[in-house]
Chains A and B, each alone.
Chain A
C-alpha cells in the first residue's frame, strides 16, 4: 500500500491568528491517478496545497513523498521533491518561445552562452514523449489559453515532476480547450504522473478524475471513488448540515414595482436571460464564477452598455448611463471592494457622500454642513467603526469598509440596490448586520438583487434564488425553497427538486 502512494500527508495542522484552518489532514494520492479535491470556499483546499508546495509552513504533521519522509519549507523543496503547481494565473512570459519559457531560470549553458540547440532538442523530446500539440519555437503570446496551459504542464514535466497540482485549470478555457486539457491529463496518467485536481465543477470531476477527497472546515470529510459517487452525496458532504433557518422572512412583494430583464444577450457570456425582480423582495443570484452573474448585474446597472435585449424598470427602459441610473435611485456594491468599491485614501465622509452630491450641493458648491450631517447619520445608522468621519477608509477593517460602501447607498434610500458578493472577507458579526440592513431596505419596498457564491447567504437571505449556469438561468427557487444543495447542484447544471431535503 505504502509504495502505491505518491503523496501522503499525516495529521497536517495549520492555524492563522489562532484560528485553526486545517485539522489533522491526511491526504493520500496514488501513483498515476487523477485525484480531485473539493470543498466550499474556506474549506482549506488552498491552505493544504500551499503547505504541500512550501508556500506556507505547517504547524504540525508530516509529509511523505514516494514513501520517503520529506521536509518542505519552501517552493524549492517542493520542486526537489517532484511537486509542481500549474497556477490559475499562468506564469509564462508571453514574449518568449515555448522552449525559452520551459528553461527559464535553468538554461542549459555551453561556454557561458545558452545552448539553444540542446534545449530545443530536449523540449521536442518532451513534446514527442507526451504527445502534446506544441511547437518548441512558438511564441507564447501567439498561443491560446489551452496551449499555454500545456506549456506550463510541459515546464513542470521538464523538472521531472511526479505530482502535478492544478488549481481550477479550466476557468479560463473554452469547452473544446477544456476537453483538450482532459485528454492531456489522461495521457499523463497513463505515463504514471499523478495529478491533484481542484475544481468547483462537478461535471469535470466526473469526466476526468479517479478519486475525490472532500474537505469541509479544514478537515477531510470523505474520500470517494469519483466514478460511482452520486452528485448529491458529494454536495451534502461539502456542505454538512443545512443551516437552520432563522425565521423565514415574509416579503411584502409589490408586483407593480419591478425590474424586468427580457431576452438579455451579451456576447458568449449571457444567452437570453428573462426574469423579474420585484420591490420588497431580495432576489438572490447564484451560480459559479464565470457563469455570467456579474455581467448580468453590470448590464442592469449600466456599467456594461453593449448588450442586446431589454431591461425595464416599471415598464420603462433603464438608461445605460450609470450616472442617470444613480439619479433614478440605483446603487451598486461591487464584487471587489478594493479595486472598485472604496476610495482607499479618502475619508469615510468622502466615501459615503460621493454618491449623494445631487442632494448635498447647490450650483456645484458642496453644502459642507449637510455633507457632515448626512455622513454622521450614515455612520451612526450603519454603525461604521470607528465613528470618525475623517479617517481614511484604507485604515478600516474589511467589514467596516463594506459598511461604508453599503452606507453610501443606503443613506440615500436607494430604490434599486445591486450587491455583488456583499460579504466576502467580512466577519460573521458584521455579516449578520449587513443582512439586517438589506432586509430593512427590502421592507421599505426597494428592489434588491444579490449575487453571491456563499451558499448559506444565498439560501438564507434571499426570498427567491435564480441560479445561472453557462450564461442562462438554469433554475429558479421560489418562496425560500432554495437549499444549499439544490443551488450547488444547479450551479453545475444538475436539477434537484425544489425544497428537497437531505
Chain B
C-alpha cells in the first residue's frame, strides 16, 4: 500500500465515522441539520479548535503543553484587567492584548527552554507552570471574577459580531488560525523542518536544523494560540477568572489524538486536528439533541473517543507493519 492509499483510507474512515453519526441523527433528530445547530456546534469547538492548532505544533515536535488552559486564563486576565483599569478604551484593549501576547510568549519560551535545553520532562514542567499561572491569575484577581462591562468596545465585539450577519466571529477566528497554521505546515520551510524535528531529532541536527530552537518556537506558538483562545472566550462570556478555560488542554489533546497526531511527535496535521475537534463537538451536541441523560453523556463521549483513537492506532500499526526488520546474523 502506498502513502496515497493510506492517506485516502484514513479519510475514508473519518468520513465513515461522520456518516454513521449523521445517519443516527437522520433517524434521531432532524433539527440537528439546521443551520442554527451547525453554528452551535462550530461555536462550541471554536475556542479549543484555535488551541488545537497551537498544541499541534508542540506535539509535532514531541512536546506537550498541559498549561494551555491556565495560559488562556492568565493572559485573558491580564488583558481584561488592564482594559478595565485604563478606561475600557479600544486603545487600552490593544495594549492589554499586546501585554497578554507578550506574557504568552514568555510562557512559551519558559516551556521550550525547560524541555529543549534543560531536558526536563515537558509533561511535568507544563503541569507545574499551569499551577503557577493559575496562582498568578488568582493573585491578580484576589480570587474573584473580572467582568467585561463595556458592550460598545472592540473587546466585547470580538465574539459578539457576525461576519456577513451569519457567521459568529469566534468561528471565523478559528478558521483563520487553522488556515494560517495549515499553510505554514504545508508550504513553508519552517513547516517542513517542524516535521523533520518531530520525526527524528538527531537526523534533523545532521541536516543543519537547530532542533532546540524549533521546539522552543513551537511552544511559543502553542502559548500564543492559548492566549488568543482565552481572549475570545472572555469576550464570549463577558467575564474571566483564574479558572477560565480550565481543563481545555485535555479536550485539545484528545481532539488532536483523534485527528491522528502522535504524542511522540512527527505525526499529525491541521485537517486531522479540525476533524478531531469537529467530531468531539458533534458528539457533544448529538447527546443533547438525542435527549440522552446527561449522566451518560461523558461516558458516551469517552467511548467514541476511544473508538476513534483505536482507528488511528490501527492505521499507524498497519503502516509501521510494512517495516521489515531483518535480524542480522553474525
Q: Do A and B bind each other?
A: yes
State in angstroms the CA–CA spacing of A47 and B327 once bound together: 11
Contact string against A for B residues 204-231, beta-carbon threshold 8 Å, 1 for contact and 0 otherwise:
1111111000000000000000000000
Contact B207 A354 (CB under 8 A): yes
Contact B209 A347 (CB under 8 A): no
Contact A390 B208 (CB under 8 A): no
- The chain B residue with its CB closest to the CB of A330 is B208
State in angstroms the CA–CA spacing of A425 and B192 once bound together: 28
Contact A45 B330 (CB under 8 A): yes
Q: Do A364 and B190 form a contact, CB below 8 Å, given A44-B330, A323-B209?
A: yes
Contact B330 A41 (CB under 8 A): yes
Q: How far is the CB of A402 from chain B (nearest CB, A)?
A: 13
State in angstroms the CA–CA spacing of A364 and B326 once bound together: 40
Select which of A44, A347, A366 is within 8 A of B329 by beta carbon: A44
Contact B319 A392 (CB under 8 A): yes
State in angstroms the CA–CA spacing of A14 and B320 once bound together: 29
Contact A43 B2 (CB under 8 A): no
Contact A322 B206 (CB under 8 A): yes
State how many residues of chain A have any CB contact under 8 Å with chain B: 54
Chain B residues near A17: list those with CB within 8 A.
Answer: 326
Select which of B4, B203, B323 is within 8 A of A394 by beta carbon: B323
Does B13 have its Cβ within 8 Å of any Cβ on chain A?
A: no
Chain B residues near A91: list those with CB within 8 A.
Answer: none
Does A345 have its Cβ within 8 Å of any Cβ on chain B?
A: yes
* Count: A-B pairs, CB below 8 Å: 122
Q: How far is the CB of B18 from chain A (nearest CB, A)?
A: 25
Does B322 have its Cβ within 8 Å of any Cβ on chain A?
A: yes
State in angstroms the CA–CA spacing of A392 and B205 once bound together: 20
State in angstroms the CA–CA spacing of A327 and B192 once bound together: 18
Contact string against B for A residues 41-59, beta-carbon threshold 8 Å, 1 for contact and 0 otherwise:
1111111000000000000
Q: Which of B4, B191, B199 has the most CB of A within 10 A?
A: B199
- The chain B residue with its CB closest to the CB of A397 is B324
Does A406 have its Cβ within 8 Å of any Cβ on chain B?
A: no
Does A357 have its Cβ within 8 Å of any Cβ on chain B?
A: yes
- The chain B residue with its CB closest to the CB of A45 is B330
Contact string against B for A residues 338-361, beta-carbon threshold 8 Å, 1 for contact and 0 otherwise:
011111111100100111010001
Q: How far is the CB of A43 from chain B (nearest CB, A)?
A: 6
Q: Which of A46, A303, A354 has the most CB of B within 10 A?
A: A354
Does A332 have its Cβ within 8 Å of any Cβ on chain B?
A: yes
Chain B residues near A323: list those with CB within 8 A.
Answer: 208-210
State in angstroms the CA–CA spacing of A243 and B188 once bound together: 50
State in angstroms the CA–CA spacing of A334 and B190 once bound together: 24
If over half of A's interface residues share one DSSP class (helix, strand or loop), that class is named, otherwise mixed; here it is: mixed
Does B9 have its Cβ within 8 Å of any Cβ on chain A?
A: no
Contact A346 B199 (CB under 8 A): yes
Q: Do A408 and B207 form a contact, CB below 8 Å, given A339-B202, A357-B189, A365-B188?
A: yes
Q: Which of B192, B193, B202, B266 has the most CB of A within 10 A?
A: B192
Q: Do A16 and B207 form a contact, CB below 8 Å, given A342-B200, A394-B320?
A: no
State how many residues of chain B have any CB contact under 8 Å with chain A: 35
Does A395 have its Cβ within 8 Å of any Cβ on chain B?
A: yes
Contact A388 B187 (CB under 8 A): no
Chain B residues near A334: list those with CB within 8 A.
Answer: 202-203, 206
Chain B residues near A425: list those with CB within 8 A.
Answer: 328
Q: How far is the CB of B156 from chain A (nearest CB, A)?
A: 36
Contact A366 B192 (CB under 8 A): yes
Does B3 have its Cβ within 8 Å of any Cβ on chain A?
A: yes
* CB interface residues, A 269-315, toward B, < 8 Å: 301, 303
Q: How far is the CB of B320 from chain A (nearest CB, A)?
A: 7
Select which of A322, A340, A354 is within 8 A of B196 by beta carbon: A354
* CB interface residues, A 372-402, toward B, < 8 Å: 386, 388, 390-392, 394-395, 397-398
Contact B319 A366 (CB under 8 A): no
Does A442 have its Cβ within 8 Å of any Cβ on chain B?
A: no
Contact A21 B319 (CB under 8 A): no
Q: Do A350 and B195 form a contact, CB below 8 Å, given A46-B329, A365-B187, A392-B319?
A: yes
Contact A347 B192 (CB under 8 A): no
Does A267 have its Cβ within 8 Å of any Cβ on chain B?
A: no
Q: How far is the CB of A211 from chain B (nearest CB, A)?
A: 22
Select which of A350, A395, A408 is within 8 A of B192 by beta carbon: A350
* CB interface residues, B 157-212, toward A, < 8 Å: 187-193, 195-196, 199-200, 202-210
Does A368 have its Cβ within 8 Å of any Cβ on chain B?
A: yes
Q: How far is the CB of A40 from chain B (nearest CB, A)?
A: 8
State in angstroms the CA–CA spacing of A390 and B3 once bound together: 6
Q: Do A21 and B330 form a contact, CB below 8 Å, given A353-B192, A355-B208, A392-B319?
A: yes
Chain A residues near B190: list those with CB within 8 A.
Answer: 364
Does A465 have its Cβ within 8 Å of any Cβ on chain B?
A: no
Contact A344 B199 (CB under 8 A): yes
Chain B residues near A361: list those with CB within 8 A.
Answer: 188-189
Q: Which of B191, B266, B330 has the most CB of A within 10 A?
A: B330
State in angstroms the CA–CA spacing of A326 and B205 once bound together: 11
Contact B203 A395 (CB under 8 A): no
Select which of A43, A340, A345 is within 8 A of B330 by beta carbon: A43
Contact string against A for B residues 10-22, beta-carbon threshold 8 Å, 1 for contact and 0 otherwise:
0000000000000
Does B82 have its Cβ within 8 Å of any Cβ on chain A?
A: no
Contact A343 B195 (CB under 8 A): yes
Q: Do A364 and B322 form a contact, CB below 8 Å, given A323-B209, A340-B206?
A: no
Chain B residues near A321: list those with CB within 8 A.
Answer: 208
Q: How far is the CB of B24 from chain A (nearest CB, A)?
A: 34
State in angstroms the CA–CA spacing of A431 and B326 once bound together: 17
Contact string against A for B residues 254-266, beta-carbon threshold 8 Å, 1 for contact and 0 otherwise:
0000000000001
Contact B187 A344 (CB under 8 A): no
Contact string against B for A residues 319-335, beta-carbon threshold 8 Å, 1 for contact and 0 otherwise:
00111111100001010
State in angstroms the CA–CA spacing of A282 and B314 once bound together: 46
Chain B residues near A42: list those with CB within 8 A.
Answer: 328-330
State in angstroms the CA–CA spacing of A408 and B206 once bound together: 12
The 9 closest A-B pairs by CB, nearest first: A323-B208, A42-B330, A343-B199, A390-B3, A21-B329, A340-B202, A395-B322, A326-B208, A357-B189
Given contacts A327-B208, A391-B2, 16 further A-B contacts (CB under 8 A): A16-B326, A17-B326, A41-B330, A303-B206, A322-B205, A322-B206, A322-B208, A323-B208, A339-B203, A341-B206, A344-B200, A347-B3, A355-B208, A357-B189, A357-B192, A365-B188
23 residue pairs A–B, Cβ–Cβ below 8 Å: A16-B327, A19-B329, A47-B330, A303-B205, A322-B205, A322-B206, A323-B208, A325-B208, A326-B207, A327-B208, A340-B206, A343-B196, A345-B199, A353-B192, A354-B192, A361-B188, A361-B189, A388-B2, A388-B3, A390-B4, A391-B3, A392-B319, A394-B323
